[in-house]
Amino acid sequence: MNLPELVGSRIRELRKAKGWTQEQLAEAAALHYSYIGGVERGDRNISLETLEKIIAAFQVPAIELFRFEEASERRKTIDEHMTLISSRSTEEIAAITKVSREVIAAIEVGLERK
């Protein structure tokens, strides 16, 4: 796969993790839905400005568009988590992070006891 195909595929993964159609992503990014389809297929060589619009629509760090790991349940779950928290406030994300740390610590303690 070339870079436009990899980025397009990643955009599709993130869009699906958010539960959006191409039309919904296009609306959120102020783009035409047929353009989104071309981007996802790797047919379009998108500009940085367009990439920035898509990143802003997803409300994720830019690096998320360049995580080209093999599609896996783990990656899909991480993407889903990112989309769940992406629209939350900084304070809410901090609270979620604190709870996540506590859950992870409890899991690790449970694993140590086994």
* Helix (H), strand (E) at residue 92: helix 90-113
Residue 71 has pLDDT above 70, yes or no: no
Task: Write down all domains in the chain, each with its CATH number in brackets.
Answer: 3-113 (1.10.260.40)
What is the pTM for the complete model shown?
A: 0.67
Shortest CA distance to 39 belongs to which of 77, 8, 14, 74? Answer: 8
Instruction: Summarize the confidence of residues 9-23 as an average pLDDT.
Output: 92
Q: Cβ contacts of residue 8 below 8 Å, gap of 6+? A: 39, 40, 41, 42, 43, 44
For residue range 18-44, list pLDDT tens digits in order: 889 999 999 999 999 999 999 999 999
User: What is the C-alpha separation between 8 and 59, in angstroms, rounded?
Assistant: 17
Average of per-residue pLDDT across 63-83: 80
* The pLDDT of residue 12: 95
